[in-house]
Amino acid sequence: MRKILVTSALPYANGSIHLGHLVEYLQTDIWVRNQKMSQNQCFYICADDAHGTPIMLKAKELQMTPEELISKTQKEHMEDFKDFHIEFDNYYTTHSDENRELSELIYEQLKENGNIESREIEQFYDEQENMFLPDRYIKGTCPKCKADDQYGDACEICGATYLSTDLLNPKSVVSNSKPVTRKTEHFFFKLSEYETFLKDWLKDSRVQNEIKNKMDEWLKDGLASWDITRDKPYFGFQIPNEKDKYFYVWLDAPVGYIASFKNLCDKKSIDFMEFWKKDSDTELYHFIGKDIAYFHVLFWPAMLEGSKFRTPSSVFCHGFLTIDGEKMSKSRGTFFNARTYLKHLDPEYLRYYFASRLTDKIEDIDLNFDDFVARVNSDLVGKIVNIGSRCAKFINGSYDSRLCSESYNKQLITEILESKNLIVENYENRNFSKNIRLISSLADDINKYIDNEKPWKMIKDKENKDKVHKVCSDGINMFRLLIGYLKPVIPNIALKVEKVLQCDCINWSNLDSILTSHQMGEFKPVIGRIEKDSIELMKNEAKGEIND
């Protein structure tokens, strides 16, 4: 049995979960469900990223405390995840005692190593708001490619990273005024001291080739020290023994992975250090978006190495979501919150569709609504789920809901079963789209078998009653196999099918057993077709939210 700890990036606690976020959480959830079906010990943990200037300013705008804001947002996030059947073993917050203690522990260890230095820097200051401006609250022209309207830490056009003071034509996002520069003392993590370690860490193919190539570029250019300080006013953890200095949110946010697991361990009596000690033989995987790879493959492994914690087994990056070929945008009407979707459409539709598009590559995926409707209605409902309903009609109606004692087409059942190992492997390697194509192809074979046998015609002849029983029992058994293969993707449908078939909870070890002389329940619809009107209603509601 493997022992695995899995994380997704922490959603920020000043806004709602949207469909772009769900690419990552659904990808991770599918991967974790496969591990649990393999009966590995796999923990999936996450938390709200609850610190930083944006939280502070948003709370001020809403006339509430930051603590009230992050509590309200966490509740909303957890409800959205639950309703999309994303099953965390622990969902926590970075604003916790565990995270404070662990962040301070890591900082003190790095400081003891001589990895922390202090120096006076010049930073942008908003004189109207009387505050130093974090990178994301400054916009200007990229000093490298000259693209306008870029943030103060990185360019979204060319990918360059830079100091906020390098921006051309800077302006404060808070007041829209031109900031001035002021001197302030900050603390820096000397990342360059971990260059050799990071090169060795990278040799073990812990990241995808695209990230490895980018990391090689960063290492070739030399690693700059990382500013881990923010000045007050700031919502976060105060740096020990320092006045008016706070940890930058990107220091304590990834530590939130450890803190969330620590919180779970304390509740469930799990051996925390077995997973986080330096020589641990457990596995640790981070699923993240490509935009935060820099933090997860440079700063994070170096921080862990310097503080004597274990480092990630792998970091898996994914691309962004586009909607009907357009970048997600409120002004273009291509931005949908998770809750808006849930008011109109079944979450399993989106789980299935995203799975049909997700690979192990760092590629953007497009939610094309015409393709979405066609793929769900034609493949999932019309091709796969329909196998169960068309065969159960006969089993329920003519055979007292009892399956036959033997198979008729053992060869086809064997062929379906022979795909199991490949399907498990594809889930493990994050090649979900390959599985969707393979399962759809298997459904074609099953439907062809039923069409060729024509039980609806055979049932009219009493002499064929036994054969119809066998053919439709075959159909139910093969339907169970397909639903088992899709269980990581459509867990709620799988649960409904398990109840209808009155069978054991499906996992990879018991899926091979064929149901013979088995009493099933009355088949009831497990999911309906997408109505195009539902999509239009969702789009209209999203537009209304933008105008509110």
* pLDDT single digits (tens) 316-371: 999 999 999 999 988 788 899 999 999 999 999 999 999 999 999 999 999 999 99
Mean pLDDT score, 382-398: 97
The answer on pLDDT for 230 being more than 90 is yes
Mean pLDDT in residue range 457-462: 90
The ranges assigned to domains in the chain are 3-115+190-320, 347-358+377-501
Q: Kindly state the tokens that stand for 350.
A: 């989106």
Percent of the chain with pLDDT over 90: 88
Return the pLDDT at 409. Answer: 95
Q: How far is it, in rounded angstroms, from Cα 179 to Cα 107?
A: 31
Distance CA 543, CA 171 (A): 29
Q: Which amino acid is at 343?
A: K
Can you tell me whether residue 156 is helix, strand or coil? coil
CATH fit for domain 347-358+377-501, picks 1.10.730.10, 3.30.420.40, 3.30.565.10, 2.40.50.1020: 1.10.730.10
SS (H, E, C) 329-395: CCCCCCCCEHHHHHCCCCHHHHHHHHHHHCCCCCCCEEECHHHHHHHHHHHHHHHHHHHHHHHHHHH
Q: What is the mean pLDDT of residues 425-431?
A: 98
Burial class of 222 by CB neighbour count within 10 A (0 to 12, 13 to 18, 19+): exposed
The radius of gyration of the chain from alpha carbons, rounded to an integer in Å, stands at: 27
The pLDDT confidence band at residue 156, using thresholds 50, 70 and 90, is confident
| Average pLDDT of span 289-307 | 95
Q: Does the pLDDT value for residue 543 go beyond 90?
A: no
**Distance between CA atoms of 514 and 534, rounded to whole angstroms?**
38
Strand order in the sheet with 168-172: 150-151, 138-141, 168-172
| Amino acid code (one letter) for 172 | S
Entry pTM: 0.94
Model confidence band, residue 163 (pLDDT cutoffs 50, 70, 90): confident
pLDDT band at 546 (very low <50, low <70, confident <90, very high): low
CATH of span 3-115+190-320: 3.40.50.620
Q: How confident is the prediction for the chain on average, in pLDDT? A: 95
Strands 229-231 and 226-227, by their bridges, are unpaired
- Provide mean pLDDT across the span 12-24: 97
Residue 548 pLDDT exceeds 80: no
**What are the strands, taking DSSP E only, across 375-462?**
none
Confidence at residue 78, expressed as pLDDT on a 0 to 100 scale = 98
